[in-house]
């Protein structure tokens, strides 16, 4: 009689197990390469859905000055937004926690400039647990920041790419393209994609970048 | 037996100052005039009641037990310059006072452009007339300053003034757009008689910056006429009513312009002329006319033959609870739950909810501190109100302790009992309103805002972020044209290289970084709003450009070289696309 050992799990199996009990909403962090890049805002909005409820948008003072305020005329859909203007990062975190305790919200976007000491592992863990408990997605937008220790379940780095072709005007910028890099994730394998966003349908396609696609071809040749 | 002695006396005695509520209630059809004949058909059936020409209108014989229709004392308060005085006060408070010698006027939209609504004394002296067109008056007086009248604000101020005027008598009501009517029967002796009372009213109104014409008479119609057309602070006793009214012009009867014109064409210039006409003829001529067009009914109202009680609206309810403490305490927080519960119980009993709650603590040395919280939606839930006060009480300096704590709902709204869901929890709107309250209580009411759509094609004016605790406006929607996701406030000026002055930018330096324009779309020309912008505002040519890194930026050129403003146009970055 032998007590057979359970087969050793590969890292992919572990990820798959985790992906199975992935919560509907969680804390994600988005870093931007340059401070005033609209790609971060666009990518965050592309991941949210106005049908789920109003959006709580919390900004600190420097973000408001450097990156501007949300402009609903340019949003892909009609969206209900409650904007909170605070000056200190600790107030951003407090307001975000209050918002995450309200299940009626469709999402919380918190923008923090730089690396304030209050935004540590404990603070992000609190946000992540609250978001998962109440099912409200929380997006922490970080600008001019270093990706230090954090409990965010998914951490992205987003930057703009030259846009797609405009259907009628070859000189005009067309569909937005972003380079999105998932550099830390709890539920899926990290990777880099080119995101193509269709504002008409409010839908984002993630394609592997051309460089990665070409690699097997090059190996075959 | 005293009671037996008294009873017959009471029965025959007609009270000179009857219970005012019975008349002021306005709902009682058996008020004095119902005994008199106010219906014209009724009059035709009884020709013996006709006032014979030549002698003053007789007071109708009173049936015994009825109240004297002229026993009341009605005060009319006319504010001839209400709009302009309010505007002057607002300008004064905003730190840009308007000089007395400068002609200024307020305008409202008329059928063919703006017309003058109110004028200052200086403007009146310069020949500016009410109701004339603004363009005509500008020709008459080129340095006339014209602003738009805030009619709704005036009305709200008059409402507040009506409640304020209840210091003299409990029954006050609005009377037209710039007047109040008060039933001062029996309350004039508190000020030492009618003359001192009117003087007191005039003085207190002048402290508010309002000039007023006042008069007291036995009927509303007579008081109205005397306040507008009579002497200064005139009081008219009941026995001189007919005599005093006779020389007044017919417009003193509160008739509309057409009827006044008609009466003048008929040769009836004064109230006395009209009263001399046989009632039957007047009743026949104006049988079907409404009150504002019916001289006979108006005359009857003026002379007290037809009841016109002052219909005073009820006082708005006030909600406040307080607790006096036997010993001073350092911390008011432990007393707050009981006070909040008591306040909420009172609100619930009256069917109201609080929008704004103020906690007032009185220190033993006389200092008073206040803490105020506001709510996005009326609420009477004690736990929610209590939560808003969290962390706000630490800021109060206790000194030697507090001996009195008061909690009041300064703004309350009617809140009917509703059940949003079967399980009894509030709906989604309630949750969001609660969240807004908590955020606003912590960071201040102005920091929590919602976008509101406005009628403007200028990008920065299209959306106005207003406090979420305030009234909701139209929600913002996506625009038809491509617009950026974020808007810079204010737009940032950049140095631009271009191939042609009217063409797109080729390269620009923004925040010390050089951006080369790889692709562009535009220009989209947005003209200034001439009805709102300053005259030197230039048009804008907006370009949507993409730089070498793929960043999509929205920038504009402020004007074109040939628009006549001379200067080279500057370039500004206004937004960032996603």
User: Is there a contact between B478 and A197 if contact means CB atoms under 8 Å apart?
Assistant: no
Q: Say if residues A154 and A187 touch (Cβ distance below 8 Å).
A: yes
The size of the A-B interface in CB pairs under 8 A is: 169
A53 CB neighbours in chain B (<8 A) are 428
Residue B422 lies in a domain: yes
pLDDT at A123 over 60: yes
Q: Which of residues 112-131 of A touch B (CB under 8 A)?
A: none
- Under DSSP, the state recorded for A149 is S
Q: Which two tokens stand for residue B401?
A: 């302790």
With CA atoms as reference, report the closest residue to B402 among B322, B323, B337, B332.
Answer: B332
Residue B516 touches partner A, C-beta closer than 8 Å: no
Exposure pattern of B17-36 as b/e (b: 16+ CB <10 Å)? ebebeebbeeeeeebbbebb
- Assign a CATH topology to domain A11-220: Rossmann fold (3.40.50)
Structure token pair of residue B454? 């406005």
pLDDT tens sequence across B356-409:
899 999 988 888 888 888 888 888 889 999 988 888 888 888 888 888 999 999
Interface contact B458, partner A, CB < 8 A: no
- Res B428: pLDDT: 67
- CA dist A136 and B259 (Å) reads 68
How near does any CA of chain A get to the CA of B477, in Å? Answer: 5
Categorize the per-residue pLDDT at A3 as very low, low, confident or very high, splitting at 50, 70 and 90.
Answer: low
Residue A215 has pLDDT above 60, yes or no: no
For residue A110, list chain B residues with Cβ-Cβ distance below 8 A.
Answer: none
Note whether B338 and B436 are same-domain residues. yes
The tokens for B336 are 């707050």
Q: Do residue B99 and residue B130 come from a single domain? A: yes
Q: In degrees rounded to 5, what are phi and psi of residue B134?
A: -65, -40
- Which residues from A are below 8 Å from B489, CB to CB? 64, 68-69
Tell me whether residues B521 and A54 touch, CB distance under 8 A. no
Question: What is the distance between the alpha carbons of residues B569 and B531, in angstroms, rounded to a whole number?
Answer: 22
> Can you give the pLDDT at residue B412?
86
Give me the domain span that covers residue B128: 82-154
Number of structural domains (chain B) is 4
Preferred mutation among A35, A42, A55, A73 to probe B, highest tally of B CBs within 10 A? A73
Of B434, B468, B485, the CB nearest to A42: B485
User: Can you spell out the DSSP letters for B232-295?
Assistant: TTEE--GGGHHHHHTTSBGGGG---HHHHHHHHHTT--BHHHHHHS-HHHHHHHTTT--GGG-H
Cβ neighbours of A45 in B, within 8 Å: 485, 578
Establish if B213 belongs to a structural domain: no
Proportion of chain B above pLDDT 90, given as a percent: 49
Is residue B278 in a domain?
no
Is B361 within a domain? yes
pLDDT for B30: 40
Predicted confidence (pLDDT) at residue B27 exceeds the cutoff of 70: no
> What is the rounded average pLDDT of the residues B447-464?
90
Higher pLDDT, B311 or B316: B311
Diameter of chain B measured on Cα atoms: 115
Residue B202 in any domain: the answer is: no
Look at B442 and A162 and tell me if their CB atoms are within 8 Å.
Answer: no
Has residue B283 been placed in a domain?
no
Same domain? For B432 and B449 the reply is: no
Q: What is the pLDDT of residues A52-99, one digit of tens each?
A: 999 999 999 999 999 999 999 999 989 999 999 999 999 999 999 999
Whether B550 and A162 lie within 8 Å, measured CB to CB: yes
| pTM check: above 0.90 | no
User: To probe the interface with B, which of A74, A79, A172 has the most B CB atoms within 10 Å?
Assistant: A74
What's phi and psi for A115, nearest 5 deg? Answer: -120, 80
- Residue given tokens 């004339």 in the structure block: B132
Hey, are the CB atoms on B432 and A54 less than 8 Å from each other? yes
Q: Where a domain ends, among B440, B466, B496?
A: B440
Residue A182: which pLDDT band, with cuts at 50, 70 and 90?
very high
Measured CA to CA, the distance from residue A143 to residue A185 in angstroms comes to: 19
Cβ-Cβ contacts under 8 Å, B484 against chain A:
38, 71, 74
- pLDDT for res B219: 93
B378: domain CATH number is: 3.30.1490.100
- Check if B459 contacts A (Cβ < 8 Å): yes
Between A168-172, B167-171, B229-233, B532-536, the lowest mean confidence (pLDDT) is in: B532-536
d(C-alpha A27, C-alpha B432), whole Å? 20
ipTM of the complex, rounded to two decimals: 0.87
Q: What is the mean pLDDT of residues B138-161?
A: 91
How far apart CA B388 and CA B364 sit, in angstroms, is 26
Q: Does B550 touch chain A (CB under 8 A)?
A: yes
Mark whether B401 and B334 lie in a shared domain. Answer: yes
Residue B201 has pLDDT above 50, yes or no: yes
């Amino acid at each position: 009689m032998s007590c057979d050992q359970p087969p050793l799990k590969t890292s992919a199996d572990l990820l798959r197990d985790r992906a199975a009990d992935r919560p509907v909403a969680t804390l994600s962090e988005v870093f931007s390469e340059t401070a005033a890049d609209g790609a971060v805002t666009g990518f965050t909005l592309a991941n949210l859905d106005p049908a789920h409820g109003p959006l709580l948008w919390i900004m600190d003072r420097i973000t408001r000055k450097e990156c501007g305020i949300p402009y609903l005329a340019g949003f892909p859909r009609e969206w209900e937004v409650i904007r909170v203007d605070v000056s200190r990062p600790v107030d951003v975190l407090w307001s975000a926690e209050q918002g995450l305790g309200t299940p009626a919200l469709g999402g919380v976007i918190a923008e923090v400039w730089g690396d304030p000491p209050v935004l540590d592992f404990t603070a992000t863990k609190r946000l992540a647990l609250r978001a998962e408990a109440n099912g409200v997605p929380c997006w922490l937008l970080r600008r001019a920041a270093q990706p230090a220790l954090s409990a965010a379940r998914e951490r992205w780095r987003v930057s703009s790419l030259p846009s797609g072709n405009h259907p009628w005007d070859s000189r005009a910028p067309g569909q937005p393209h972003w380079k999105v890099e998932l550099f830390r994730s709890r539920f899926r394998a990290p990777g880099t994609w080119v995101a193509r966003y269709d504002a008409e349908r409010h839908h984002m396609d993630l394609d592997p970048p051309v460089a990665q696609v070409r690699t097997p071809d090059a190996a075959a040749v | 037996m005293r009671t037996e002695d008294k009873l017959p006396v009471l029965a025959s005695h007609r009270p000179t100052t009857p219970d005012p509520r019975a008349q002021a209630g306005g709902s009682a059809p058996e008020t004095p005039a119902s005994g008199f004949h106010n219906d014209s058909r009724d009059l035709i059936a009884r020709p013996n009641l006709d006032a014979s020409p030549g002698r003053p209108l007789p007071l109708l014989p009173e049936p015994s037990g009825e109240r004297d229709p002229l026993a009341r004392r009605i005060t009319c308060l006319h504010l001839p310059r209400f709009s302009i005085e309010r505007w002057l006060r607002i300008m004064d408070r905003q730190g840009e006072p308007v000089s007395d010698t400068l002609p200024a006027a307020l305008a409202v939209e008329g059928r063919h452009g703006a017309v003058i609504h109110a004028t200052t004394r200086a403007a009146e002296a310069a020949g500016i007339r009410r109701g004339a067109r603004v363009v005509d008056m500008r020709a008459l007086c080129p340095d006339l300053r014209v602003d738009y009248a805030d009619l709704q604000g005036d009305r709200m101020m008059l409402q507040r003034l009506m409640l304020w005027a209840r210091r003299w008598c409990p029954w006050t009501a609005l009377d037209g757009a710039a007047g109040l009517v008060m039933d001062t029967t029996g309350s004039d002796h508190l000020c030492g008689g009618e003359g001192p009372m009117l003087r007191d009213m005039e003085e207190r109104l002048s402290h508010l910056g309002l000039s007023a014409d006042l008069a007291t008479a036995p009927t509303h119609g007579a008081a109205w006429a005397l306040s507008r057309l009579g002497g200064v602070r005139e009081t008219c006793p009941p026995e001189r009513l007919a005599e005093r009214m006779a020389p007044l012009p017919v417009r003193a009867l509160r008739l509309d312009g057409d009827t006044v014109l008609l009466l003048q064409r008929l040769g009836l210039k004064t109230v006395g002329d009209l009263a001399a006409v046989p009632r039957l003829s007047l009743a026949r001529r104006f049988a079907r006319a409404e009150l504002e067009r019916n001289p006979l009914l108006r005359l009857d109202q003026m002379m007290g033959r037809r009841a016109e009680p002052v219909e005073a609206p009820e006082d708005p309810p006030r909600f406040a609870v307080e607790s006096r403490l036997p010993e001073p305490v350092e911390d008011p927080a432990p007393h707050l739950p009981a006070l909040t519960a008591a306040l909420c119980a009172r609100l619930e009993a009256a069917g109201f909810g609080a929008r704004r709650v103020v906690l007032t603590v009185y220190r033993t040395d006389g200092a008073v501190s206040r803490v105020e919280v506001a709510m996005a939606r009326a609420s009477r839930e004690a736990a929610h109100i209590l939560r808003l006060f969290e962390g706000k009480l630490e800021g109060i300096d206790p000194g030697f302790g507090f001996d009195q704590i008061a909690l009041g709902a300064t703004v309350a709204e009617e809140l009917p009992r509703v059940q949003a869901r079967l399980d009894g929890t509030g709906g989604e709107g309630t949750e969001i309103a609660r969240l807004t309250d908590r955020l606003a209580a912590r960071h201040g009411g102005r920091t929590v805002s919602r976008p509101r759509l406005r009628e403007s094609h200028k990008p920065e004016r299209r959306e106005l972020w207003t406090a979420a605790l305030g009234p909701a406006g139209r929600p913002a929607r996506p625009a038809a044209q491509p617009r950026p996701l974020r808007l810079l406030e204010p737009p940032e000026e950049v140095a631009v290289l271009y191939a042609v002055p009217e063409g797109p930018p080729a390269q620009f330096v923004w925040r010390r970084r050089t951006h080369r324009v790889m692709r562009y779309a535009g220009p989209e020309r947005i003209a200034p709003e001439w009805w709102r912008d300053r005259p030197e505002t230039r048009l804008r040519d907006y370009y949507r450009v993409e730089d070498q890194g793929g960043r999509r930026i929205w920038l504009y050129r402020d004007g074109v070289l040939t628009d006549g403003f001379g200067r080279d146009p500057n370039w500004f970055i206004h937004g960032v696309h996603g």
